[in-house]
Amino acid sequence: MTFVRVCGADELEEDTPKRVEIDGTPVSLVRTEGEVFAIHDICSHANVSLSEGEVDDCHIECWLHGSRFDLRSGKPDSLPATRPVPVYPVKIEGDDVLVSLSQES
Ligand code: FES
């Protein structure tokens, strides 16, 4: 599993998603509840950026129609989205945030 550095840990504000790209793949980084999560940045319902949504209770809400995706699993817990979005493993090494594009299920 190959991890790449995506940003500094101090660049992530609590509950404020940060969009990054890894080899052209858009990823939303979210620091919340003492952890950092990486979730694919495109909603599974339509082509909009999840990083523009709000974070609450370890979920990120799509700003367009309101589906909420679990940051741990990528699964939506509310309609209209029915398909999960990929989530990616995260490592913190010192001041660096690293992400692997290998998917966790
Ligand atoms: S585009 Fe995200 S829920 Fe519709």
Q: Which DSSP symbol is given to 80?
A: S
70 Cα to the center of ligand 1, angstroms: 14
- Tell me which of 39, 48, 50, 75 to substitute to probe ligand 1's pocket, judged by most ligand atoms within 8 Å of the beta carbon: 48
Q: Would the pTM count as exceeding 0.75?
A: yes
Residues with pLDDT less than 50, the chain? 105
Angle (CA) 49-93-26 rounded to 5° is 15
Q: Which residues have any ligand 1 atom within 6 Å of their CB? A: 43, 45-46, 48, 62, 64-65, 67, 80-81
Q: Which DSSP symbol is given to 76?
A: B
Residue nearest (by alpha carbon) to ligand 1 atom 4: 65
Beta strand 18-22 with 25-32 is: antiparallel
Amino acid (1-letter code) at residue 20 = V
In whole angstroms, give the CA distance from residue 79 to residue 45.
9
